[in-house]
């Protein structure tokens, strides 16, 4: 099992970031910027205490050949996420289309205020591959891929907010 955290400074307020992150057009646009062949919000519910979103994505992957072969050409995932309105924490899990009983990826995202128009995004991730002999390779490959995706999302998010000014 691998656990790691990524941090990014974003040029927006906490309120603006959550509003954009939880809006279907913005999150789908962000995934297009990240070169996902497909990302679609399939369900969104807003309750008194939470916002629940389910989405399906097919990421553009750059993985070692052994991992790519194992996952197959049409690898995708269903994201199930919940934004707790009281704590302002996004909790998510990704359910892979391949080997869902052997691969697990989940995490949390929160924002720390750094000023009137600046936040630090803190994403804590956990990966678990239960495949004998190559679990470490899979976890390391996905960690590298996820770090790249989150880094690119910070660049795209900052570009989005700078364009609004």
Can you give the pLDDT of all 165 residues of the chain as single tens digits? Answer: 999 999 999 999 999 999 999 999 999 999 999 999 999 999 999 999 999 999 999 999 888 888 989 998 889 999 999 999 999 999 999 999 999 999 999 999 999 999 989 999 999 999 999 999 999 999 999 999 999 999 999 999 999 999 997
What's the confidence (pLDDT) of residue 165? 78
What's the confidence (pLDDT) of residue 21? 97
User: Residue 137 contacts by C-beta under 8 Å, 6 or more apart in sequence?
Assistant: 64, 66, 67
Listed in order, strand segments (DSSP E) in 20-135 are 38-46, 50-58, 77-84, 89-96, 103-115, 118-129
With tokens 């390391």, the residue in question is 140
> For residues 50 and 14, what is the distance between their CA atoms, to the nearest angstrom?
17
What's the confidence (pLDDT) of residue 40? 97
What's the confidence (pLDDT) of residue 95? 97
What's the confidence (pLDDT) of residue 112? 98
Q: Which of 28, 38, 96, 95 is nearest to 67 (CA)?
A: 96
Domains of the chain, CATH where assigned: 2-164 (3.30.530.20)
What's the confidence (pLDDT) of residue 146? 96
């Amino acid at each position: 099992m691998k656990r790691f955290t990524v941090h990014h400074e974003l040029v927006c307020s906490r309120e603006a970031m959550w509003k954009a992150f939880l809006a279907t057009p913005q999150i789908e646009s962000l995934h297009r910027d990240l070169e996902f062949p497909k990302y679609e919000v399939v369900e969104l519910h807003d309750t008194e205490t939470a916002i629940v979103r389910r989405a399906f994505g097919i990421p553009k992957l750059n993985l070692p050949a052994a991992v790519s072969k194992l996952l197959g050409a049409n690898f995708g995932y269903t994201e199930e996420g919940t934004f707790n309105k009281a704590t302002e924490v996004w909790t998510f899990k990704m359910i892979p289309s391949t080997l869902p009983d052997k691969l697990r990826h989940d995490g949390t995202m929160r924002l720390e205020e750094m000023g009137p128009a600046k936040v630090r995004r803190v994403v804590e991730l956990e990966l678990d591959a239960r495949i004998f002999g190559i679990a470490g390779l899979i976890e390391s490959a996905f960690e590298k891929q996820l770090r790249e995706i989150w880094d690119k999302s910070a660049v795209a998010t900052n570009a989005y907010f700078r364009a609004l000014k």
